[in-house]
Amino acid sequence: MTSKPVLYSYYRSSCSYRVRIALNIKGIDYDYRPVNMLKDGGEQYTDGFSELNPMKQVPVLIDKGHTLTQSLPIIEYLEETREGPKLLPEDPLSRATVRQVAEIIAAGIQPIQNLKVIRKVVQLTGREDVKPEWGNHWIDEGFKALEVILISCSGMYCVGDSLSLADVCLVPQVYNALRYKVDMEKFPVIKRINEKLKKLKPFIDASPDRQPDCPKGV
């Protein structure tokens, strides 16, 4: 029986990408179990996977017999149970600032441009072309707010000069933004921080194109 944590992930799921980054920052070796979100209607909808996660979403982390879902609680759990670089500062106000930025992305932007929501919008409108519009709209709107917030709290990274949970959430969201052709020139602070983060090894190793289930040619 393996004692390594197991991560159910899809290469380009931004929520899975966040957890991959955090695992890498903490130096945690893990087993990667791909869940193809498109094949056969989506493997996340199989009975086996739904049993693991009734929300039928990735990521899921299995650690020491515990099944954990939702990317931010997973990362907070890793923060509390593992040694390694900290992703949350010590003082409550700075912690709140980090969590605020993480939540703007994880609750304020990503859920609205999530695959299941986009599929529903396409179904209701009968228009495939609404997909890029919808994704672009919500990310662009969220980034307008995030840019202003980062102007006041960022330093080298999203919150001051220490790497944090906020940075872990930022890079995957910019990845999504680029997929939906958001004009990143409008968001110079987000762009600057993203470019800096993307050079760091934990972020490089977590990127979608480095994952075992990334299709060839992508």
Partner 1 sequence: MSKNKPILYSYYRSSCSYRVRIALHIKEVQYEYRAVNMLKDGGEHYKEEYGELNPMKQLPLFIDHNGEPISQSLAIIEYIDETYRQPIKLLPEDTHQRAIVRQIAEVIGSGIQPIQNLKVLRHVVKITENPEMKDEWAKFWIEEGFVALEKILERHAGTYCVGNSLTIADCFLVPQVYNATRYSVDLDKYPRIQRLNNSLCEIQAFKEAHPSQQPDVPKEIK
Contacts with partner 1, residue ranges (CB under 8 A): 54-57, 66, 68-70, 72-74, 76-77, 80-81, 92-93, 95-97, 99-100, 102-104, 106-108, 110-112, 114, 117, 120-121, 124-125, 130, 134, 137, 142, 144-146, 148-149
- Least separation in angstroms between residue 196's CB and partner 1 is 22
Q: CB of 35 within 8 A of CB of 9?
A: yes
- Least separation in angstroms between residue 68's CB and partner 1 is 5
- Least separation in angstroms between residue 170's CB and partner 1 is 15
Proportion of the chain in helix, strand, coil states, percent, rounded to 5: 60, 10, 35
Taking the C-alpha atoms of residue 48 and residue 176, their distance in angstroms, rounded to an integer, is 28
Between helix 92-103 and helix 130-153 the angle, nearest 10°, is 160
Output 25 or 146, the one with its CB closest to partner 1. Answer: 146
Output 153 or 200, the one with its CB closest to partner 1. Answer: 153
Q: For strand 31-34 and strand 6-9, is the pairing parallel, antiparallel, or unpaired?
A: parallel
Q: CB of 14 within 8 A of CB of 20?
A: no
Output 57 or 154, the one with its CB closest to partner 1. Answer: 57
- Least separation in angstroms between residue 139's CB and partner 1 is 13
- Least separation in angstroms between residue 204's CB and partner 1 is 26
Between helix 71-81 and helix 14-25 the angle, nearest 10°, is 10
Output 66 or 181, the one with its CB closest to partner 1. Answer: 66
Output 81 or 198, the one with its CB closest to partner 1. Answer: 81
- Least separation in angstroms between residue 18's CB and partner 1 is 12
Q: CB of 35 within 8 A of CB of 19?
A: no
Output 130 or 204, the one with its CB closest to partner 1. Answer: 130
Taking the C-alpha atoms of residue 198 and residue 167, their distance in angstroms, rounded to an integer, is 10
